Structure 1
């Protein structure tokens, strides 16, 4: 457990990708089996303990110390694991520190009645860093700045092999991955990737640099299509095994049984999951009604019918088509979709263009209906194979310019992980007319990125210096027509919302600029957002 705790601690203290990669690679090379496999599982989100809930952790610590004092400490620190690690009053005579594999084995078989005793015994035996790592492991919220792909890259470097090879067999593997490490260290053959219904690592696009890229690229080499505003999915039916995966390989089949039933084919397609009503695409807010649910009822299935807009063919029957050039995959995809007897899967149409200027005009003219259904355009080289990862050159995405409004900071809350000591989550509002005719701020969104670490320190100080009230972990910041901090907020689109007092909800809001220079009274009005909505509806 100590080596795992030191790894998490060091990962949390560096922002450098290369340093994180080195730390991970060294840990996987030196830690024994099965501990390194459980570490990999935790970092890739493949490890969960259903009996271990944050409520048990709070119950354990409140049995050892004054609950009010703990509440104050938690409010100050802002992170449950870090707070408990610091304040835990250990009892003398504790047992030896547990190994990571011991903790995992115990939690996987523990009943809810056992969890609190286990937590207390382990917290007594560990130092503060070990306690912090233990609690992060239990709750699944590591937040150390490591993606699943980075962890897999570190593992692949042990051989070394391309990370795509690890991704290719990932869904045929199970923690603690002893067969994976045996292969990478040359002690056994490569694990098989031929499990029916398996996930195939996705190909990603690079963002277009208009000045640098368009000057050296020939438009005749590329096909263009809309970048649809849904979620990237992979739909598979092999040997009677049907699966629906996200771009990261998460299995969401249970959430979309209507789509799963439509996979009446043998093969694998890449596309966009959308709410489709006939041939019309609904806004992303409709798709959100279906996402992140363990089950769906008949009402949701009827009101928000999901479907796939296909744009690539990864397997046709038993044939792997990924090594074919895009021009051939596209032709076969058209035939593949034409043979399907369902309205839930259609084809993403190609958009003809001759010059980059024509493509720019196309990008400014979204499809008929709500313009927010397309985030921009995709460019794919006609001769490109389907290559896992984000290779440079074959695919580009050219997203539309974001919408911008000036809004006033109203509330702030501490972040998580390395930001747990900073107020980094910001709720902002725009001006509206109150019942008495006076101007008042109404919240329209929340953002927690778009600023540098140096700007975060200044924002945190501003929040502390201008707090006027507290609501649990949330601070209300002084915000009126004479005093307030203005954010220039960028967002991808707007939708009507009955859940928000303002009646609008932003899509992907982020801080574009901090307007230290702008008086709060000059921020935008709610009427400006309503006009944006009217324009979207009209189009």
Structure 2
């Protein structure tokens, strides 16, 4: 644990890519194979289930610190991170632990089934046996919310340097449904596992946003244009008469979309399709809000399948006839995909083609982009016809050109402290618009939360206003005198029964502080609903 904690400390204290890669490379060269597997798992978001809820963690840490609970809670609100708060308030360790990272994680897995008394004893004993940073990392692992500023790409680069294995090969090996509690480092990284091939997806290729004038991409005839669909990015794999559907987050979601099983027997074995999962109601693309009715459901009833059907909107082919074809050009892969979908067009399958357009000028591309909301898309994807399908986010060949956000002026009504470097400031805000109550009187109705878009100086000014104009406190949340108006931008909008406003917005964020407007000039809920397509 000591070496892993030192690694995390180094990673957490630098923004320099080279420093992080060097630290990871050194760690992978010196750690035990078992610890390396768990480190890879943790940094690629594969962690054991949380064995203890955060309420009990707070109570037991508070007991050990021997301070009033209100003081712990106030400290927590100031620090903004539970693991860091616990690491700070517990007395300096008098003992020392030589247990490895993998030993601790095996214990945490077993801990989940223990009694509360045993859990308390285990946590308090280990908190006292670890120094500050080890205690911080230990608690992070317990909470299951371990996040550090290292992308999987950086980790893969370091692992490649340490083990002399090709980066793209490693990226492929780390995809799929492997278990750090059962797989060995040899099996995961060094061996060729033909048995793993059956369900394994390929690393996704990601686009960069267009910056500046789109004409900077050169000759428009070198590019294919298609709409950027607002759903769930996925890979659908059909091999040996089995189907596997993976989300971009490397979650196997096959069982959540049983309608896709109809592809088996109709799509040839040895096929991998890159596509977007979209809601598809009444023969038209639905909103992301419609799709959310399917996301997270443990069981999919016949009623839900009928009322909220989904489709695959396919835009690339990664494997054909059992061969990896990612090195073929985009144009060649698309021709194969289009021929495949054309061959099954009469079978009423939930597989649709994402139409590609070849436009002759950037003005035509700009005009197509303006149709995005009408098409229920977020904007356009621009793909160089000659481009291979690469790994991760690479500049040059794939670009996304999203629509300008929808905007509305709203009133700040609630605030909560931020996290990380903003944990001492109120930076997480709730906004409201004007609506009518039961008596027909005007009132502010909350509709969205946002925590990005202001400068550090603006955040400090808003924080000062909140502290001077708090009406009530609800734990970490404060209600605020309604006075400040902000322009809020968002990508999409849909009716929603889950929200008091009756409307759900997608990706809301602050665009600017409207110093020139009073709250009376803020928009209404009706204004918001008029934006619904």
CA shift, 1:194, in A, is 5.8
**Counterpart contact for 1:409–1:427, Cα < 8 Å:** yes
Cα displacement string for residues 293-335 of structure 1 (whole angstroms, at most 9, x for unaligned residues)? 3443333323211220111111123122212212221111112
Aligned residue number for residue 359 of structure 1: 365
CA shift, 1:241, in A, is 3.7
Q: Distance in 2 between matches of 1:91 and 1:203?
A: 46
Q: Any idea what SS the aligned residue of 1:378 has?
A: strand
**Counterpart contact for 1:78–1:473, Cα < 8 Å:** no
CA shift, 1:215, in A, is 3.7
* 5+ long unaligned stretches in structure 1: none
Q: Give the stretch that moved more between structures: 142-151 or 404-413.
A: 142-151
Aligned residue number for residue 175 of structure 1: 180
**Equivalent residue in structure 1 for 2:407, among 399, 404, 408:** 404
CA shift, 1:452, in A, is 4.0
Cα displacement string for residues 154-175 of structure 1 (whole angstroms, at most 9, x for unaligned residues)? 3234356553221111136653
**Counterpart contact for 2:51–2:142, Cα < 8 Å:** no
**Counterpart contact for 1:314–1:320, Cα < 8 Å:** yes
Aligned residue number for residue 257 of structure 1: 258
Structure 1 residues 200 and 362: alpha-carbon distance in aligned structure 2, compared to 1, 3 A threshold: same
Structure 1 residues 283 and 80: alpha-carbon distance in aligned structure 2, compared to 1, 3 A threshold: same
Q: How many pairs align? A: 521
Q: Distance in 1 between matches of 2:164 and 2:511?
A: 40
Aligned residue number for residue 217 of structure 1: 218
Give the alignment of 1:159-308 within 5 angstroms: 159=163, 163-171=167-175, 174-175=179-180, 179=185, 195-211=197-213, 213-264=214-265, 265=267, 266=269, 267-277=271-281, 279-308=283-312
Aligned residue number for residue 530 of structure 1: 529
**Counterpart contact for 1:230–1:272, Cα < 8 Å:** yes
Q: Distance in 2 between matches of 1:13 and 1:516?
A: 37
Aligned residue number for residue 43 of structure 1: 43
Q: Any idea what SS the aligned residue of 2:159 has?
A: helix
**Counterpart contact for 1:234–1:245, Cα < 8 Å:** yes
Q: Distance in 1 between matches of 2:210 and 2:184?
A: 41
Aligned: 1:471 with 2:465: no
**Counterpart contact for 1:85–1:132, Cα < 8 Å:** yes
Q: Give the stretch that moved more between structures: 253-262 or 332-341.
A: 253-262
Q: Any idea what SS the aligned residue of 2:531 has?
A: helix
Aligned: 1:324 with 2:325: no
Aligned: 1:120 with 2:108: no
**Counterpart contact for 1:486–1:523, Cα < 8 Å:** yes
Q: Give the stretch that moved more between structures: 514-523 or 354-363.
A: 514-523
Cα displacement string for residues 95-122 of structure 1 (whole angstroms, at most 9, x for unaligned residues)? 6353312211212233232433221211
CA shift, 1:251, in A, is 1.6
Q: Any idea what SS the aligned residue of 2:149 has?
A: coil
Aligned residue number for residue 355 of structure 2: 349
Q: Distance in 1 between matches of 2:119 and 2:134?
A: 17
CA shift, 1:123, in A, is 0.6
Structure 1 residues 21 and 316: alpha-carbon distance in aligned structure 2, compared to 1, 3 A threshold: same
Give me the CA root mean square deviation. Answer: 2.8
Structure 1 residues 520 and 161: alpha-carbon distance in aligned structure 2, compared to 1, 3 A threshold: farther
Q: Distance in 2 between matches of 1:223 and 1:364?
A: 17
Structure 1 residues 296 and 164: alpha-carbon distance in aligned structure 2, compared to 1, 3 A threshold: same
Structure 1 residues 191 and 25: alpha-carbon distance in aligned structure 2, compared to 1, 3 A threshold: farther
CA shift, 1:206, in A, is 2.0
Q: Distance in 1 between matches of 2:456 and 2:170?
A: 34
Structure 1 residues 326 and 193: alpha-carbon distance in aligned structure 2, compared to 1, 3 A threshold: farther
* TM score, norm. by length of structure 1: 0.88
Structure 1 residues 321 and 410: alpha-carbon distance in aligned structure 2, compared to 1, 3 A threshold: same
Structure 1 residues 278 and 499: alpha-carbon distance in aligned structure 2, compared to 1, 3 A threshold: closer
* 5+ long unaligned stretches in structure 2: none
CA shift, 1:453, in A, is 4.1
**Counterpart contact for 1:214–1:356, Cα < 8 Å:** yes
Aligned residue number for residue 86 of structure 1: 88
Q: Any idea what SS the aligned residue of 1:376 has?
A: strand
**Equivalent residue in structure 2 for 1:446, among 418, 438, 449:** 449
Structure 1 residues 215 and 9: alpha-carbon distance in aligned structure 2, compared to 1, 3 A threshold: closer
CA shift, 1:532, in A, is 1.6
Q: Distance in 2 between matches of 1:503 and 1:379?
A: 35
Q: Distance in 2 between matches of 1:130 and 1:456?
A: 32
Q: Give the stretch that moved more between structures: 389-398 or 254-263.
A: 254-263
**Counterpart contact for 2:289–2:504, Cα < 8 Å:** no
Structure 1 residues 314 and 450: alpha-carbon distance in aligned structure 2, compared to 1, 3 A threshold: same
Structure 1 residues 343 and 416: alpha-carbon distance in aligned structure 2, compared to 1, 3 A threshold: same
* TM score, norm. by length of structure 2: 0.89
**Counterpart contact for 1:487–1:512, Cα < 8 Å:** yes
Q: Distance in 2 between matches of 1:355 and 1:86?
A: 60
Q: Distance in 1 between matches of 2:27 and 2:515?
A: 44
Q: Give the stretch that moved more between structures: 352-361 or 435-444.
A: 435-444
CA shift, 1:272, in A, is 0.5
Q: Distance in 1 between matches of 2:63 and 2:298?
A: 33
CA shift, 1:394, in A, is 1.7
Q: Distance in 2 between matches of 1:260 and 1:420?
A: 47
Q: Distance in 2 between matches of 1:466 and 1:10?
A: 40
